[in-house]
């Protein structure tokens, strides 16, 4: 049986179909999970996609954490299930307390929409298990609030616990320590600003996102058989 | 008693404020020189029923911490005013 990936849909999400397409392109099944439903329907992995959940009212991600589905996602994550938040999904995961820190406005004061070169920092996360440390990947970014920040203690523990997953080679947004993506201590919850689902075929300009989403599918498959 | 609450949400020092920076850069083009320190925040107003100001303040502080602000990047300045009792 192929791996089933649940993709959350909030009012204002706008990258969910890209994630569905990318997941299916890589040979897995994808299904949309409405934010108002209090279940993740027994999927093997959850992706929180990009967009503007609840219109980014108050702050990006601030309202999304009250959606019923987030309780199910939190429980799924606590049980070791793979959860990846992309862009606005990363903001949702920090606001929901599943990942530390916050995303502030880009240091360059501009909305950014461009390819970014990332370096894989660790392979112990569900998003990088099939990659190699030091591997460089070209994956697009598309955000205004992607400047990762946290206090010094949190940054030190991210480093000590090997929770920095991806770094920008040429930091586009001012993120502390060039952070493009982080994971929780267990490595099963990952948040990143770049969009791997937009880089899964050479036709899109890069297929470097395949190793990331492929890693997620591998991790989801492992948790299925485990 | 009803208390009128005003919460000003500010970015913490050192947090990027592109709106403030853009406004500050635009002002001289209209001839407003010597304006500095522009920052943009949010203003949130609501009313709370409570017995005394201290308990209302504790409740509002908690509400700000857990929802109205993200304490990693923002701070709240809370102003509380007791509304006048209606007299019959």
* Domain spans, chain A: 4-225
Residues of A in contact with B68 (CB under 8 A): 58
CA nearest A107 in B: which residue?
B16
With residue A154 as reference, give the H or E element that holds it: helix A152-160
Torsion A119-A121-A124-A127 (CA) sign: negative
Give the CATH number of domain A4-225; options: 3.40.1160.10, 3.40.640.10, 3.40.50.880, 3.30.1490.20.
3.40.50.880
Q: Is the pLDDT of residue B8 over 90?
A: yes
User: What are the helix and strand counts (H, E) for chain A?
Assistant: 5, 11
Instruction: Tell me the chain B residues in contact with residue A151 when contact means C-beta distances shorter than 8 Å.
Output: 72
Q: Is the pLDDT of residue A1 over 80?
A: no
Phi, psi angles (nearest 5°) of residue A157: -75, -30
Q: What is the pLDDT of residue A108?
A: 82
Indicate if the pLDDT at residue A61 is higher than 60: yes
- Going by C-beta distance under 8 Å and a sequence separation of 6 or more, which residues neighbour residue B48? B2, B3, B5, B56, B59, B60
Q: Is the pLDDT of residue A162 over 60?
A: yes
Sheet holding B42-49, edge to edge: B42-49, B2-11, B74-82
How far is Cα A3 from Cα A17, in angstroms, rounded to an integer?
A: 17
Burial of B14 per CB tally in 10 Å (0-12, 13-18, 19+) = exposed
The string of pLDDT tens digits covering residues B31-74 is 999 999 999 999 999 999 999 999 999 999 999 999 999 999 99
For residue B43, how far is the Cα from the chain centroid?
Answer: 5
- Give the tens place of pLDDT for each residue, B18-32: 889 999 999 999 999
B73 touches chain A (CB under 8 A): yes
Flag whether residue B16 sits within 8 Å of chain A, measured between CB atoms: yes
ipTM of the complex: 0.81
Residue-range domains of chain B with CATH = 2-82 (3.30.1280.10)
Best residue in B18, B23, B76 for a mutation probing chain A (most A CBs within 10 Å): B18
Q: What mean pLDDT value characterizes chain A?
A: 96
Per-residue pLDDT tens for A177-207? 999 999 999 999 999 999 999 999 999 999 9
Report, as residue numbers or ranges, the catalytic residues of A. 87, 195, 197
pLDDT in tens, A124-140: 999 999 999 999 999 99
Query: Contact A174/B21, CB-based, under 8 Å?
Result: no
């Amino acid at each position: 049986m192929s791996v089933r990936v649940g993709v959350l849909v909030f009012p204002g999400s706008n990258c969910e179909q890209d994630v569905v397409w990318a997941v299916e392109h890589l040979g897995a099944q994808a299904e949309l999970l409405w934010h108002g439903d209090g279940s993740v329907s027994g999927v093997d992995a959850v992706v929180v996609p990009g967009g503007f959940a609840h219109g980014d009212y108050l702050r990006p991600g601030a309202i999304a954490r009250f959606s019923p589905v987030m309780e199910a996602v939190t429980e799924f994550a606590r049980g070791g299930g793979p959860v990846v938040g992309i862009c606005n999904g990363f903001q949702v995961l920090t606001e929901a307390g599943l990942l530390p820190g916050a995303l502030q406005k880009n240091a360059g004061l501009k909305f950014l929409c461009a390819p970014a070169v990332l370096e894989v920092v660790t392979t112990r996360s569900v998003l990088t298990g099939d990659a190699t440390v030091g591997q460089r990947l070209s994956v697009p970014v598309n955000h205004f609030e992607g400047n990762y920040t946290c206090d010094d203690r949190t940054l030190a523990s991210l480093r000590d616990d090997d929770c920095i997953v991806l770094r920008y080679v040429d930091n586009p947004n001012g993120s502390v320590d060039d952070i493009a993506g982080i994971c929780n201590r267990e490595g099963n919850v990952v948040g990143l600003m770049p969009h791997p689902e937009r880089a899964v075929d050479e036709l899109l300009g890069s297929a470097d996102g395949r190793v990331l989403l492929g890693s997620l599918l591998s991790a989801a498959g492992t948790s299925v058989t485990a | 008693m009803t208390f009128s609450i005003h919460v000003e949400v500010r970015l913490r020092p050192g947090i990027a404020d592109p709106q403030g920076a853009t406004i500050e850069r635009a002002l001289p083009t209209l001839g407003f020189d010597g304006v500095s320190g522009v920052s943009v925040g949010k203003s949130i107003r609501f009313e709370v029923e409570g017995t005394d100001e201290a308990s209302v303040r504790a409740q509002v502080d908690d509400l700000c911490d857990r929802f109205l602000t993200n304490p990693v990047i923002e701070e709240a300045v809370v102003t509380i005013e007791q509304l006048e009792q209606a007299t019959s």
